[in-house]
Amino acid sequence: MKERTFLNIIDPVKDKMYRLALRLLTSKEAAEDATQEVILKLWSRKEKIKHYANIEAFAMTVTKNYCLDQLKLKYNNNMRIVHQNYESNHPSLQSEIEVNDEMEWLGKIVATLPEQQKMIFQLRDIEQYDYDEIAEIMEMNQTAIRVSLSRARKAIREKLIKKHNYGIR
């Protein structure tokens, strides 16, 4: 496989790999390093890559496993999730502050979820993968994924409602 062919295969997936790594490692630098390492691993196996039916799912699985290995080795000490997915042409200062506060709370809530729920939530609700792809990446059946995602969403919803209703009778 030529370098150009490999890059054409990996380029569309690179951003998703980075976002998954960022969600797991929570440090931009660590996520960038992880993405580069995974791309190097994939390059070293470039002849085998073309035999995979879903290269994107394979790349995401390798990314997930690499990041989990990094977490196990305690290379990543700054465990803070920050995910801001908000764009507006002319937001007011107050709405910017509210959105930042809400995203910070959401990050804190997601950080308290069990690891499996956190990853399934990331893949489904942030990355918008299909259940089939998540099943392949997580090596789980779809029913278990749906149950885990439902529990994660319920926990997030309950904690956000509790936060918003604080002090209200």
- Scanning the structure block, which residue is given the tokens 């980075």? 18
Residue 100 has a pLDDT of 85
The model carries a pTM of 0.51
Helix (H) or strand (E) run with residue 106 in it: helix 93-112
- Average pLDDT for residues 57-84, to the nearest whole number? 70
- CB-CB contact of 28 with 22 (8 Å): yes
Which residues contact residue 53 at a Cβ distance below 8 angstroms, ignoring those fewer than 6 apart? none
- Residue 27 predicted with pLDDT over 70: yes
Buried b (16+ CB within 10 A) or exposed e, 65-86: ebbeebbeeeebeeeebebeee
- Among 15-19, 44-48, 57-61, 142-146, which is the least confidently predicted range? 44-48
The tokens of 71 are what?
């977490």
Place 74 in a pLDDT band, splitting at 50, 70 and 90: low
Residue 149 has a pLDDT of 94
- Among 19-28, 77-86, 91-100, 106-115, which is the least confidently predicted range? 77-86
Q: Which domains does the chain have, with CATH numbers?
A: 3-72 (1.10.1740.10), 93-164 (1.10.10.10)
DSSP string for 91-103: --HHHHHHHHHHH
- Choose from 22-36, 42-56, 138-152 the range with maximum mean pLDDT: 138-152
Q: How far apart are CA 149 and CA 110, in angstroms?
A: 12
Which of 47, 43, 48, 52 is closest to 10 using CA atoms?
Answer: 43
Q: How far apart are CA 25 and CA 12, in angstroms?
A: 21
DSSP state of 50: T
Q: How many residues does the chain have?
A: 169
Average pLDDT, the chain: 83
The tokens of 147 are what?
């149950």
Between 71 and 81, name the one with better pLDDT: 71
